[in-house]
Amino acid sequence: MKQIKTATILAFIISATAIFAGVRVAILNRAMPYYVLQGLPAYNLILGVFSLFPVTFLIWKKSKFAVPASITVLASHSIVLLTLLIAYLGTVSIFSLSAMLFRVIVWSIILRLLLLHQKEISLKNKGKNL
């Protein structure tokens, strides 16, 4: 149970910060003190909203879809991070790279917590069947 609460809180915070960053640049047109790659703020906003509403809710409700949804978010952030590192290394800001790396790390932790919770539930159910 503690894993689910922690995963939900982490998912909420990381999603809310992605939404904040996306809104600040993509919608409010606030200039950042560093170069922002075109499209990245929109990505942050879209994935932040997706992460916050369905994914965080699925985690909180202990849905069977929480793990696949979390894998989707983690995979998306990982692909974007790899793209930034491979295709835009000299162009993209270190702040953008750091933020994406941070998201990958946090979503990895969230996924690990969900998998630990599943394992715990599986062990409890296995003990009841014996």
How far is Cα 15 from Cα 78, in angstroms, rounded to an integer?
Answer: 15
Q: What is the mean pLDDT of residues 72-77?
A: 98
Number of domains in the chain: 1
Q: What is the mean pLDDT of residues 12-17?
A: 97
Residue entry with tokens 């790659």: 37
Residue range of the domain that includes 62: 2-129
Percent of the chain with pLDDT over 90: 75
Q: What is the mean pLDDT of residues 28-52?
A: 87
Q: What is the mean pLDDT of residues 37-42?
A: 89
Whether residue 22 contacts residue 41, with contact meaning beta carbons closer than 8 Å, is answered with yes
6: which 2 tokens?
A: 């922690």
pLDDT tens, position by position, 88-125: 988 899 999 999 999 999 999 999 999 999 999 988 88
Whether residue 117 contacts residue 60, with contact meaning beta carbons closer than 8 Å, is answered with no
